[in-house]
A and B are shown apart, each in its own frame.
Chain A
Amino acid sequence: SQTIHQWPATLVQPVGSPLSLECTVEGTSNPNLYWYRQAAGRGLQLLFYSVGIGQISSEVPQNLSASRPQDRQFILSSKKLLLSDSGFYLCAWKRIMNTEAFFGQGTRLTVV
């Protein structure tokens, strides 16, 4: 069966520090991968998606970047965090031709 792992679960980082959140999927190949952010009291905003290794599409301009170094690995990064980067980050995957998406358990990022 397929599983998705996301870590760390919680993270507190100072303003200006770098960020790296990792997401890996097991049990499938060539998945579409996605990063969402959920700010406090708000819905889910799609940040990045990837349809293949090295292929990254950004949905909104921001302080973050994403990379896909391997087929089932998706990384969310920042060189210098801002207070506004605080939120709950969710990684998700789906098969290209399927409609259902599967989500990780999320990472709660607090920038102080």
Chain B
Amino acid sequence: AQSVTQPDIHITVSEGASLELRCNYSYGATPYLFWYVQSPGQGLQLLLKYFSGDTLVQGIKGFEAEFKRSQSSFNLRKPSVHWSDAAEYFCAVLDNNAGNMLTFGGGTRLMVKP
């Protein structure tokens, strides 16, 4: 079965610093991978997605992620974090066995220090 692991439950960075959120997946075939962001008390917004092709994908709000098949990873990065980036971030893989829906990791809560 597909699974997604986000090793870091909480991360705190200073505003302006770079950010990397880790995501590891387990999937038998080529995965379809996603990063979503959730602001407090809100639904999920798609940041970016990877299907095939270029392993470095660009998303909204200045985020990017790199797919590394050899490491089964899809880490999210941002060169300079803004205070408004404080939120919870979820990595997900498309699961064809669950109604063609997404299997999510446990999430990483990002806090930004001024």
Q: Which residues does A use to contact B, with CB under 8 Å?
A: 6, 32, 34, 36, 41-44, 46, 49-51, 57, 59, 88, 90, 92, 94, 96, 99-101, 103-106, 108
Contact = CB atoms under 8 A, between A and B. Distances in A.
B28 interface: no
B43 A32 contact: no
B105 A32 contact: no
Interface of B: 6, 9, 32, 34, 36, 41-46, 49, 51, 90, 94, 98-107
Given A105-B42, A105-B43, A46 B103 contact: yes
B103 to A, nearest CB: 7
A92 B105 CA distance: 17
Contacts of A106: 41-43
B109 to A, nearest CB: 9
A32 B98 CA distance: 11
11 contacts: A42-B106, A43-B105, A44-B107, A49-B98, A59-B98, A90-B44, A99-B51, A103-B36, A106-B41, A106-B42, A106-B43
B41 A104 contact: no
Contacts of B100: 32, 94, 96
Nearest to B91: A43
Nearest to A90: B43
B39 to A, nearest CB: 10
B43 A46 contact: no
Given A44-B90, A99-B49, A108 B41 contact: yes
Nearest to B33: A99
Nearest to A100: B46
A34 B42 contact: no
Contacts of B102: 46, 101
Contacts of A90: 43-44
Given A32-B101, A43-B104, A103-B45, 18 more contacts: A34-B99, A36-B104, A41-B9, A42-B106, A44-B104, A44-B107, A46-B101, A46-B103, A49-B98, A49-B99, A50-B99, A92-B101, A99-B32, A99-B49, A100-B46, A101-B101, A106-B41, A108-B41
